[in-house]
Amino acid sequence: MPNRSTAADKIKARLDALTALRRGGLSDVSLGYLNLLGQGKSSHRGKAVRLRRTYLRHDVPRPVERERNGLPREEQPPAARLIAPRGVAGRLHLVLLFAAHCQASPGRQWPNRIPIEPDSTQPFSWMGLIGAHARHTPGGRRVASPRVNKARQITEALKKLRDQKLLEFPNEGTSRPFRDFRLLCDSGASTDAAPIPYTVPRAADPGIDVPLHFFLRGWVNLLTPSETVAYLMWLDVNQNPVHDEPYVTGVERAGHFGLGRDAYETHEPLHAFGLIDVEPALLRHEDGKYTDYGTQSGRPICHRVALTNGITRNAADSIEPVLHEFAATGRWSRPLGTRVYS
């Protein structure tokens, strides 16, 4: 279990951010996604956002010294590399991929023409499509408004995605360096010498399908980076099964997905939010240790995790009561009366 005071501080900060996002137009952000989807290609309406499998999983597992720690950041797949305690790079990248699916056909490149800040000539802006908690910054030589801070969050995220070879700036060096930035392949295989333009994956391309509700119902903006990448991992485990049952071993989680134990333990809040159902491994304690290391009846001692229809529920309404319960008890638990189905 995490330190109680530290966990309580994080939960309070998360509740404060959720309240601020709701007051700051979180519902308008989700409406923007719906409008973006409405002008999209007919082949994507009512379907999912497909991510290439190599975005979150190495085809061949990398050797790990300690599965608890996962892979070093430089060896992780792109999704895991974007996990960070601050910033919106991972969130922004998923929204970029969503927009690409809305505005380009499978197999085609996406001509991004969406500006960062609202423009009277454009129906969308990245500021309007990202739910980010941007505060007023007092003091200093200049007073930064929430609007200025949000724009800065987005440009900093774009620079991080550029550093990770996930997009490029064709107008770099000009007065508008971020204008019409271009996505690079989500596999992360681009290099400075050989950038690979992003194309919307075809159905036959190995990948995972992220439900549209992940965006439309607000989950993309309210899950933590670790929760988001772990949820993508569980999508892969269930959509591209390697075993007869939906589980991932520690070696697979670390070597394939690059994730450490901390990211894996987000199955607790994800279960409490109603996104997954967890069948706990017998003989395994909350601290990850076992009563008797080994297997039982030939079954690896791993949690079985199934997806639910909880993704169709409003994210803010699902998350807020869970956070209040954790603040009061220090435990992740699904509220009584919550009805979700695997």
Amino acid 168 reads E
- Which is nearest to 134 in space by CA: 277, 23, 283, 40? 23
Q: Average pLDDT of the chain?
A: 89
- Which is nearest to 100 in space by CA: 52, 165, 58, 132? 52
Tokens (6 digits) for 8: 């309580």
- Computed on alpha carbons and rounded to an integer, the radius of gyration of the chain in Å comes to 20
Does residue 140 sit in helix, strand or coil? coil
DSSP for 23-34, written as a single string: HTTHHHHHHHHH
Res 236: pLDDT: 98
Q: How many of the other CB atoms lie within 10 Å of CB of 94? A: 23
In degrees, rounded to 5, the angle at the alpha carbon of residue 152 between the alpha carbons of residues 147 and 157 is 130
pLDDT range class, residue 39, cuts 50, 70, 90: confident
Give 227-252 pLDDT, tens digit per residue. Answer: 999 999 999 999 999 999 999 999 99
- Which is nearest to 310 in space by CA: 208, 219, 238? 219
| Chain CA centroid to CA 275, Å | 13
Q: Is residue 203 predicted with pLDDT exceeding 70? A: yes
Res 218: pLDDT: 97
The lowest-confidence range among 98-102, 233-237, 294-298 is: 294-298
Tell whether the torsion through CA atoms of 266, 248, 278 and 93 is positive or negative. Answer: positive
How far apart CA 286 and CA 272 sit, in angstroms, is 15
Res 42: pLDDT: 46
Q: How many of the other CB atoms lie within 10 Å of CB of 314? A: 16
The lowest-confidence range among 24-28, 100-104, 139-143, 326-330 is: 139-143
- Give the residue-averaged pLDDT of 103-126: 93
Q: pLDDT exceeding 90 applies to what percent of the chain?
A: 76
Res 295: pLDDT: 46
pLDDT range class, residue 146, cuts 50, 70, 90: confident
How far apart CA 215 and CA 231 sit, in angstroms, is 13
Res 292: pLDDT: 44
Q: Give 50's strand partners.
A: 209
Res 294: pLDDT: 45
| Chain CA centroid to CA 334, Å | 21
Q: Is residue 58 predicted with pLDDT exceeding 90? A: yes
Res 215: pLDDT: 97
How far apart CA 241 and CA 227 sit, in angstroms, is 20
Give 87-99 pLDDT, tens digit per residue. Answer: 999 999 999 999 9
How far apart CA 52 and CA 240 sit, in angstroms, is 12
pLDDT range class, residue 60, cuts 50, 70, 90: very high
Does residue 249 sit in helix, strand or coil? coil
Which H or E run contains 75?
Answer: none
